[in-house]
Structure 1
Amino acid sequence: MRWPRLLWLAALLGIGLPAEAHQVNLVTARVALAPDRTVSVELGMKGSDIDRLIGTRIHDARQDAVDPAAVEAARPAILAYVSTHLAVTGGGRACLVGHAAILADGDGIIYRNSFACANAAGDIIYRSTVLTEKDPAARQVVLIAQGKSETQALLDAGDTSVTLSTAPPPLWSTMQRYLLTGIEHIFLGYDHIAFLIAVVLWARRLIPVVKIVTAFTVAHSITLSLATLNVLVIPSSIVEPAIAASIVFVAVENFFARDVDKRWRIAFLFGLVHGFGFAGALRDIGLPPNAVVPALAAFNVGVEIGQVAVVAVVLPILALADRLTAQDRSEPARAAGLVYAVSAVIGLLGGYWLLARVFEA
């Protein structure tokens, strides 16, 4: 599993990667604990997040890049913010802080500093509320290096610290975090939700829906695993427009075909595409080196729970529409007007996302 680790570090350090290495609402950090109890911290953030937090203007949205001169001018403000929201302590006492560096890095910034904890007895704790204090939905991925071993922690607004000098968190805790991350990705992934709704709009029976959801799950599980483990990686500049195109296709198809019994085939085909999108989200937070397979499985299960929840909400609404519009109660017919209206809205959204993503690529 050396390649995933190297790619994660490359994304963090901005080595040879495009500006998309920094993601909105995500802080990436590498924390190294040396034998002399010195802690080196390197933290990466999106420039637009810095502007939102501090009120600076270092990020150019049109170019999706930061201005190095603006970063240098904002250095005191950035340091003041990070110093307020990041700390390393030993035995409850603050470790001696070194001289911090702020560097422009493509579309974001890198913060580097060291903390000397030799004179601080007890466990060494890294604590950070950078970004998460402002936005509860934000996350911070922390790669912890100690000697030849590496572990990973995922911090958020409710969990702001990690102990560096003790054993890594239990496996179940890691899996629980990735499970919740998978669920969150579906609920925040409006394009995935739009696809799921469009593909089941004509469904009247449960069996076709089960086939559709199963086919979609199997397909995205395959490509999610392949892409996350770097066996097969497709650039997001191709994947994201393809996901939008899949939404347009299914929405338009609703105007010409009502038979959902065979739609599991389309769900499987486009599930392969969506799996690469899920993998992009998972690569943003990385996989813990000591629990790659469990974390990947937990994230996948979380995605599945999220999409089942979406379908479980949509189907009763469609059934209610059937009952309200059926002329013959013994044979409810799907309200064609509702399906066409919803499909039109989803198709327009998909078209907008397709154009936006093509021109952003």
Structure 2
Amino acid sequence: ADLMPLSGVIANTAALMALTSYGDRIMSLSLQAGAHISQTSISSAGVLGLKSEYLVFDPEEMNIDVDKSRQKILKYRPKLVITAGSVYLFPHPVKEIKEICDEVSARVMYDGAHVAGLIAGKAFPNPLGEGCDVVTFSSHKTFPGPQGGMILCNDSLGKDNIKRLSEAAFPKLISNHHLHHVAGKAIAAAEMLEFGQGYARQIVKNAKTLAAALYAHGFRVLGEKNGFTRSHQVLVDISKEGGGSKVADSLEKANIICSKQVLPYEDEKFTDPAGIRIGTQELTRVGMKENEMDEIAGFMKRVIIDGENPESVRDDVVAFKSNYNQVHYCFRSGEAYNYLDDIYNSIQHWMK
């Protein structure tokens, strides 16, 4: 494990540097299907001189099409295949992709930036347990710590590759890993050990409830066939209501924050996409549960479907949020250090 990366992008870049060489071919999802830009030719992969091809994504299932992706993997024989990414409703078929990659001696990397907290809380499958060689993630999304990134790997990667992975972070990419963040990452990890399962389960419950409530209000929520979501994310096609940019701006005026989002069946309309992406991790962290998701869906309906002035809705949103100002699923003052001290003593005892 390496907690030195300053962000998920740096973690991804380090993994790409360690596992590929200039001119190698890699495969990931397309940006429309949920890949992070660092996985593609417009960012880290392109800077490193890698050739990008895309796995096949099924918009109806909102997941990787294993059979069609297998054909492409066997055709292009990539050095590395990347699963997961920035838009991620349902667990990807990691085990199946790994088995296909073994046929062409390709490594498998998992970009867990958005779902790391769900994995740690056992609400999402563990990609290392499913055979992934490398897992990268951010320490500040569903994993509720300070800004940063981390890299994990399986022993199957081999000593030489593990050494290259470690050296890619330091000294090749960073020289200062922001030491003041290390304690925060340790406390966040300790909180995930102590409270993570309850936190992760509630995140998913909240996302499912919010998605269902929006759907009941007439929104076109993606993933209906499979229960809308199994993660913290909800995707909504908002093209008929003005598109992602316009709707996200209107919601922001009502103090409801989401992001515009290109959808899997769109062309590359990144500046004015059809969708919005909503997350429930912060709502959960301040103690909101299913009933509150129904209220939030109602606020969104007032702005987007009913056409109510966002500023008037904002007053109600502010009053609603004022009841949720305490952080949940966390240690109280001083408890974290005692917890970490106990872990340290246990490790010291085990090493004797």
What's the TM-score once normalised by structure 2's chain length?
0.26
Indicate the structure (1 or 2) with the bigger Cα radius of gyration.
Answer: 1
Q: Which structure shows the higher helix fraction?
A: 1
